[in-house]
Amino acid sequence: MRVAVAGSSGFIGTALVAGLESAGHEVIRLVRHAPAAANEAQWDPEQGAVPLARLAGVEAVVHLGGINVGARRWTRRFKKQLHHSRIRSTTVLASALTGLATRPRVFVCASAMGYYGPDRGRELLDEESGPGDGFLARLCQDWEHAAAPASAADIAVCHPRFGLVVGPGGGALKPLLPLFRLGLGGHFGNGEQFWSPVSLHDCVRALRFLVEQHGCVGPYNVTAPEPVTNGEFSRLLAAELHRPRLLPVPGFALQLAVGEASSELLGSLRIVPTRLGEAGFEFDHPDARAIIRAAL
């Protein structure tokens, strides 16, 4: 099938394009620069410009765009940029799809586990759990709502709520590896907070599943079936690297280093992918050990 991907140059997007093409799909990459390859089509969400002619015959559209939330400290200005980069691009793309003579069957628009808030303790969270509080929770709710024009036009809208994506060369592991390779790694805070990771490999497989399987609609947690505490994750990472695990990183040190974003590292989100399992999806890397080994 023909699949359009926005945000195709990012960590997840690059792997997704490769995965779709290896499965025999034709991929149209929506890019913001002048096209440099036959499979690229330029769009400009700021100007509301979407190349509808290039999207003719597209059966699925995947939108992964948005500034990386960890790119820098969360100043008031940066938080506005994070919000705008997601809401504007999603609104423009979702609205444009309604103008196609033949609309795509499915619009897979990214969201994130931040939907559930920064800290839910030991509460087991699935897609039926309500939203949390805080900046990322509000951002994710607005992000998902921005795809409403596509839903209103009878396009199936899926929201993959990504957990901590772990893979070679990037993702959640990237800032941790240098310290752990030096034997200086440790858990954050008391280490008892739950993390909900997913391997890049399974993240791409889940996105392909939402694109390829008819009938998928609504939110899907893209996290491994077995959440893990931060303390256990750091223990496993140190063991796989054959390095010691030293003193923990105190909460106040994280707050000094990254500011408000520290709440996302110290908070606890124990998330399970109930709806993916019910739809028949099976993870190749179901637990933290398998995820870390795949990344290394």
DSSP per-residue string spanning 116-177: G-S--TT-EE-TTSPP--SHHHHHHHHHHHTTHHHHHTT-EEEEEEE-EEEETTEETTTTTH
242: left (phi > 0), else alpha (psi -120 to 50), else beta?
left
User: In this predicted structure, what is the pLDDT of residue 255?
Assistant: 60
C-alpha distances in Å from residue 43, one per residue of 34, 89, 92, 111, 275: 9, 10, 10, 21, 32
User: In this predicted structure, what is the pLDDT of residue 33?
Assistant: 94
Question: Where does the chain show beta strands of DSSP type E?
Answer: 2-6, 26-31, 40-42, 60-63, 106-109, 111-112, 124-125, 156-162, 164-167, 170-171, 194-195, 197-199, 218-222, 228-229, 270-271
Q: Find the angle CA(278)-CA(282)-CA(284) to the nearest 5 degrees.
A: 160
| 26-31 and 40-42 beta bridge pairing | parallel
CB distance 116 to 131 below 8 Å = yes
Q: With b meaning 16 or more CB within 10 Å and e meaning fewer, what string describes 15-24?
A: bbbebbeeee
List per-residue pLDDT tens for the chain, 296 residues long: 999 999 999 999 999 999 999 999 999 999 999 999 999 999 999 999 999 999 999 999 999 989 888 878 889 999 999 999 999 999 999 999 999 999 999 999 999 999 999 999 999 999 999 999 999 999 999 999 999 999 999 999 999 999 999 999 888 888 888 888 888 888 888 899 999 999 999 999 999 999 999 999 999 999 999 999 999 999 999 999 998 887 776 555 556 544 555 566 678 999 999 999 999 999 999 999 999 999 99
For residue 36 the two structure tokens come to 């440099």
User: In this predicted structure, what is the pLDDT of residue 265?
Assistant: 66
The highest-level CATH class for domain 2-295 is alpha beta
CB distance 123 to 129 below 8 Å = yes
Closest CA relative to residue 83, chosen from 137, 5, 119, 14: 137
User: In this predicted structure, what is the pLDDT of residue 258?
Assistant: 47
